[in-house]
Structure 1
Protein backbone atom coordinates (compact mmCIF):
# COMPACT_ATOMS: atom_id res chain seq x y z
CA UNK A 1 0.00 0.00 0.00
CA UNK A 2 1.53 3.35 -0.97
CA UNK A 3 2.09 5.97 1.68
CA UNK A 4 1.42 9.67 1.38
CA UNK A 5 4.21 11.76 2.87
CA UNK A 6 3.59 15.45 3.45
CA UNK A 7 6.09 18.30 3.72
CA UNK A 8 9.22 17.46 5.66
CA UNK A 9 12.30 19.38 6.78
CA UNK A 10 15.42 17.66 8.15
CA UNK A 11 18.04 19.99 9.60
CA UNK A 12 20.66 17.37 10.41
CA UNK A 13 21.11 13.65 10.89
CA UNK A 14 23.77 12.35 13.25
CA UNK A 15 23.48 8.66 12.43
CA UNK A 16 20.51 6.36 12.31
CA UNK A 17 17.81 5.60 9.77
CA UNK A 18 15.36 7.98 8.12
CA UNK A 19 12.48 6.29 6.34
CA UNK A 20 9.72 7.91 4.29
CA UNK A 21 6.79 5.84 3.14
CA UNK A 22 6.35 2.11 3.30
CA UNK A 23 9.16 -0.17 4.37
CA UNK A 24 9.26 -3.95 4.39
CA UNK A 25 12.67 -4.37 5.96
CA UNK A 26 14.97 -1.81 7.63
CA UNK A 27 18.30 -2.96 8.93
CA UNK A 28 20.90 -0.29 9.66
CA UNK A 29 24.47 -1.49 9.50
CA UNK A 30 27.07 0.15 11.70
CA UNK A 31 29.92 -0.96 13.90
CA UNK A 32 32.04 0.94 16.35
CA UNK A 33 34.49 0.33 19.15
CA UNK A 34 34.92 2.54 22.20
CA UNK A 35 37.72 2.46 24.73
CA UNK A 36 37.12 4.27 27.99
CA UNK A 37 38.72 4.31 31.39
CA UNK A 38 37.32 3.81 34.84
CA UNK A 39 34.16 5.83 35.46
CA UNK A 40 34.03 7.25 31.93
CA UNK A 41 30.36 6.51 31.23
CA UNK A 42 28.87 7.37 34.60
CA UNK A 43 25.71 9.46 34.33
CA UNK A 44 23.48 11.05 36.90
CA UNK A 45 23.69 13.51 39.75
CA UNK A 46 26.32 13.49 42.51
CA UNK A 47 28.66 10.86 41.07
CA UNK A 48 31.78 10.01 43.04
CA UNK A 49 34.37 7.82 41.33
CA UNK A 50 37.48 6.88 43.29
CA UNK A 51 39.67 5.00 40.84
CA UNK A 52 43.19 5.88 41.96
CA UNK A 53 45.45 4.93 39.08
CA UNK A 54 43.52 3.84 36.01
CA UNK A 55 44.74 2.56 32.63
CA UNK A 56 42.79 1.33 29.62
CA UNK A 57 44.23 -1.41 27.42
CA UNK A 58 43.41 -0.54 23.79
CA UNK A 59 45.41 -3.40 22.23
CA UNK A 60 43.27 -5.49 19.88
CA UNK A 61 44.96 -8.67 18.71
CA UNK A 62 42.26 -9.90 16.29
CA UNK A 63 41.81 -6.57 14.41
CA UNK A 64 38.31 -7.47 13.14
CA UNK A 65 35.54 -7.69 15.70
CA UNK A 66 32.43 -7.36 13.55
CA UNK A 67 32.61 -7.20 9.76
CA UNK A 68 30.04 -5.47 7.56
CA UNK A 69 31.18 -6.85 4.21
CA UNK A 70 28.68 -9.30 2.80
CA UNK A 71 26.20 -8.43 5.57
CA UNK A 72 23.54 -6.68 3.52
Structure 2
Protein backbone atom coordinates (compact mmCIF):
# COMPACT_ATOMS: atom_id res chain seq x y z
CA UNK A 1 0.00 0.00 0.00
CA UNK A 2 1.48 3.38 -0.94
CA UNK A 3 2.44 5.72 1.86
CA UNK A 4 0.93 9.18 2.06
CA UNK A 5 3.33 11.63 3.64
CA UNK A 6 2.68 15.26 4.52
CA UNK A 7 5.24 18.06 4.79
CA UNK A 8 8.72 17.02 5.88
CA UNK A 9 11.53 19.28 7.07
CA UNK A 10 15.02 17.80 7.45
CA UNK A 11 17.53 20.02 9.25
CA UNK A 12 20.50 17.68 9.02
CA UNK A 13 21.41 14.05 8.42
CA UNK A 14 24.55 12.40 9.77
CA UNK A 15 27.11 10.78 7.51
CA UNK A 16 26.00 7.24 8.41
CA UNK A 17 22.26 7.96 8.65
CA UNK A 18 19.29 6.75 6.61
CA UNK A 19 16.37 8.98 5.64
CA UNK A 20 13.36 7.37 4.02
CA UNK A 21 9.94 8.64 2.99
CA UNK A 22 7.39 6.21 1.64
CA UNK A 23 7.52 2.50 1.02
CA UNK A 24 10.78 0.63 1.40
CA UNK A 25 11.78 -3.01 1.05
CA UNK A 26 15.12 -3.02 2.85
CA UNK A 27 17.26 -0.36 4.56
CA UNK A 28 20.85 -1.35 5.31
CA UNK A 29 23.03 1.48 6.60
CA UNK A 30 26.74 0.64 6.56
CA UNK A 31 29.54 2.32 8.46
CA UNK A 32 32.64 1.45 10.44
CA UNK A 33 34.75 3.39 12.89
CA UNK A 34 37.88 2.77 14.88
CA UNK A 35 38.53 4.75 18.04
CA UNK A 36 41.79 4.92 19.93
CA UNK A 37 41.54 6.46 23.37
CA UNK A 38 43.59 6.44 26.51
CA UNK A 39 42.62 5.48 30.02
CA UNK A 40 39.75 7.58 31.36
CA UNK A 41 38.89 9.11 27.99
CA UNK A 42 35.17 8.29 28.04
CA UNK A 43 34.48 9.09 31.70
CA UNK A 44 31.57 11.48 32.16
CA UNK A 45 29.93 12.98 35.20
CA UNK A 46 30.41 15.52 37.95
CA UNK A 47 33.28 15.45 40.43
CA UNK A 48 35.41 12.78 38.75
CA UNK A 49 38.96 12.28 39.92
CA UNK A 50 40.96 10.24 37.44
CA UNK A 51 44.59 9.34 38.10
CA UNK A 52 46.46 7.83 35.15
CA UNK A 53 50.12 8.21 36.00
CA UNK A 54 51.55 5.67 33.54
CA UNK A 55 48.98 5.42 30.77
CA UNK A 56 49.69 4.85 27.08
CA UNK A 57 47.48 3.98 24.13
CA UNK A 58 48.74 1.50 21.55
CA UNK A 59 47.57 2.69 18.13
CA UNK A 60 49.60 0.22 16.08
CA UNK A 61 47.23 -1.93 14.04
CA UNK A 62 48.65 -4.56 11.71
CA UNK A 63 45.26 -5.64 10.32
CA UNK A 64 44.38 -4.43 6.85
CA UNK A 65 40.63 -4.90 7.33
CA UNK A 66 39.06 -5.06 10.80
CA UNK A 67 35.35 -5.11 9.97
CA UNK A 68 34.49 -5.76 6.31
CA UNK A 69 31.32 -4.17 4.93
CA UNK A 70 29.43 -6.25 2.37
CA UNK A 71 26.80 -4.61 0.17
CA UNK A 72 23.61 -6.68 0.42
CA UNK A 73 21.63 -4.73 -2.17
Classify the TM-score, shorter chain: 0.7 to 0.9
The alignment's C-alpha RMSD in Å is 1.4
Give the alignment of 1:21-40 within 5 angstroms.
Answer: 21-40=22-41
Q: TM-score, normalised by structure 2?
A: 0.82
The runs of 5 or more residues in structure 1 that have no matched partner are none
* Cα distance, 1:6 vs structure 2: 1.0
Number of aligned residue pairs:
71
Q: TM-score, normalised by structure 1?
A: 0.83
Q: Equivalent residue for 2:11?
A: 11
The runs of 5 or more residues in structure 2 that have no matched partner are none
